[in-house]
Amino acid sequence: MKVVTKTGSPESFATEGFVAGVFADEEPDSSVLKMDKEMGGHLLAAIENEKFRGEPGQLLLINTLGVVPAGRVALVGLGEKDKADEESFRRAMAVGALSMRKAGATRITTSLPTAFGDKDSYELLAQAVTEGAILATYRFERLKSEKSKTGINTLTLLAPDNKSRKELTKGVLRGTAVSEATTFARDLINLPGNYATPTILGAEAKKIAKQYGAKCTVFGPAEIAKKKMGGLMAVAQGSKEPARFIILEWMKGPKNQQPVVLVGKGLTFDTGGISIKPSANMEEMKSDMSGGAAVMGVMKAVAELKMKINLVCLVPSTENMPGSAAVKPGDVAIGLSGVSMEIINTDAEGRLILSDALAYAGNYKPDCVVDVATLTGACMIALGRHASGLFSNDDVLADQLSESGLETGELLWPLPLLPEHDEDIASLVADIKNVGPRWGGASTAAAFLQKHVKGKWAHLDIAGTAFSDKNKHYTRRGGVGVGVRSLVRFLEKRMGV
């Protein structure tokens, strides 16, 4: 979908569909009132007859029958005015865009950002509206023999004047960049394991570097062994697919600026290894590389926006398979950090491969390290699919991540990381073991990761939010691409750009 900005008046702008917002129990905005006047009172009558009250998610689609240049008008609910935020507009635009696509429209228009925002909010609202439209209309059809023949080609954001249009354009550029980076991540997650191997992830990283002028280094098995990345080696030994350790560097900020290092779990398929998972729904384990896809998406967005920051993305990538050489329960691996790890459960493999990436991050003397991983079912049990878990050893870092998640609709919920959780992973034969007791599994996993980190660090457990079993708002069934938009916003806060 191409998103553009233009100046004009909604009631006189030719389009196949116009999306207008209505706050709960508030009078419609001026664009709706002007259209209603041109339509002889038909719009307001429809609002009354259909009991449209502007509640969140509510939709009223009206065919104008050629009375005004807009073929259809989609009224979307924004909820209560005093509670409206970026997410309200993101979700409302998703409802409008999907309704227009279903109606067969290919060109749609909206004035949502300027109709309800003030000049200081035009850019943010334009970004939110852009995200809502692009993300909601996403389809994964790469492997289908027949593709969808209908879809929205162009979304136009209308501005009343050129000054307002400039602000909208800024928001559209940011919204397009982060949305396309999110759909890039969604595509990687939705690809089955035989189409998204560690080798293919490495190739995709190289494509990003080549396109935008970033630096990409991909270690194969020999280099991984030479670096003594024992956690990654242990998990990889059960699979015929060679492991990869992917490094993307974007050093476009000040020379004295310490980089932020993002680490993403790149487990391209997870059977559980010797501690094999139940077969039901195992096909969804292609999404165990969602963290890796997310940080690669962040790099893509940062490069597209030409952000003047220093950023490093690390993705340890392998499969977890029960081959004849697979690591066994009770085996001990020694990671890059030098910490020895007793492997009690081979299905707790994510923390093993992340341990090497977290240790490697120290080479950059980073400002902070943030890892993103589909790590524990325990986090999903605690938070469901509604929020990701957040662990951190630094309050400022945690607050910046939480704020970014709230603003982008990718909610992060703080969870505890206590000294007692360290005791839970103490091993009789090694420094630590890779699982603790049944209780507090998300926290003991975070405690395991912390053993390999130096400096400020945060861990995002996206086990419940990375893959969706249904369509909701602007999220489509399948890979969500969670983390891309919130981490880009976080980088803006953290690096002051």
For residue 250, list its beta bridge partners.
311
| Count of CA atoms in the C-beta half-sphere (13 A) of 28 | 27
**For this structure, is 90 an active site residue?**
no
Mapped onto helix, strand or coil, the DSSP state of residue 413 is strand
| Amino acid letter, 41 | G
Q: Token digits for 473?
A: 């708002």
Question: Alpha-carbon distance 261 to 357, whole Å?
Answer: 10
Angle at 349 between CA 343 and CA 353, to 5 degrees: 105
Q: Token digits for 107?
A: 């060109």
Of 139, 277, 308, 456, the catalytic one is 277
Secondary structure (H, E, C), 22-45: EECCCCCCHHHHHHHHHCCCHHHH
Q: Please give the CATH superfamily to which domain 2-159 belongs.
A: Leucine Aminopeptidase, subunit E, domain 1 (3.40.220.10)
- Of 188, 25, 41, the residue nearest 33 (C-alpha): 41
**pLDDT values of the chain reduced to their tens digit, one per residue, 497 residues:** 999 999 999 989 999 999 999 999 788 888 889 899 999 999 999 999 999 999 999 999 999 989 999 999 999 999 999 999 999 999 999 999 999 999 999 999 999 999 887 888 999 999 999 999 999 999 999 999 999 988 999 999 999 999 999 999 999 999 999 999 999 999 999 999 999 999 999 999 999 999 999 999 999 999 999 999 999 999 999 999 999 999 999 999 999 999 999 999 999 999 999 999 999 999 999 999 999 999 999 999 999 999 999 999 999 999 999 999 999 999 999 999 999 999 999 999 999 999 999 999 999 999 999 999 999 999 999 999 999 999 999 999 999 999 999 999 999 999 999 999 999 999 999 999 999 999 999 999 999 999 999 999 999 999 999 999 999 999 999 999 999 999 999 999 999 99
Question: Alpha-carbon distance 407 to 144, whole Å?
Answer: 35
Q: Token digits for 259?
A: 């980089």
Residue with tokens 């003594």: 228
Q: Are 78 and 21 in contact (CB under 8 A)?
A: yes
Domain boundaries, the chain: 2-159, 184-495
Q: Are 22 and 32 in contact (CB under 8 A)?
A: yes
Enumerate the H helices of 362-483 as residue ranges: 377-383, 395-408, 419-424, 441-450
Question: Alpha-carbon distance 68 to 58, whole Å?
Answer: 23
Q: What is the pLDDT of residue 116?
A: 86
Residue 134 CB: number of other CB atoms within 10 A? 25
Residue 242 CB: number of other CB atoms within 10 A? 17
Q: Token digits for 192?
A: 């089955």
pTM (2 d.p.): 0.97
Q: What is the pLDDT of residue 150?
A: 86
Q: Token digits for 234?
A: 């242990």
**For this structure, is 477 an active site residue?**
no
Q: 184-495 sits in which CATH class? A: alpha beta
Question: Alpha-carbon distance 33 to 122, whole Å?
Answer: 21
DSSP H or E segment with residue 353: helix 350-361
Residue 222 CB: number of other CB atoms within 10 A? 9
Q: Token digits for 88?
A: 């309200």
Of 186, 351, 385, 485, the catalytic one is 351
**Cα Rg of the chain, angstroms:** 24
Q: What is the pLDDT of residue 31?
A: 85
- Of 188, 223, 181, 183, the residue nearest 203 (C-alpha): 188
Q: What is the pLDDT of residue 237?
A: 98
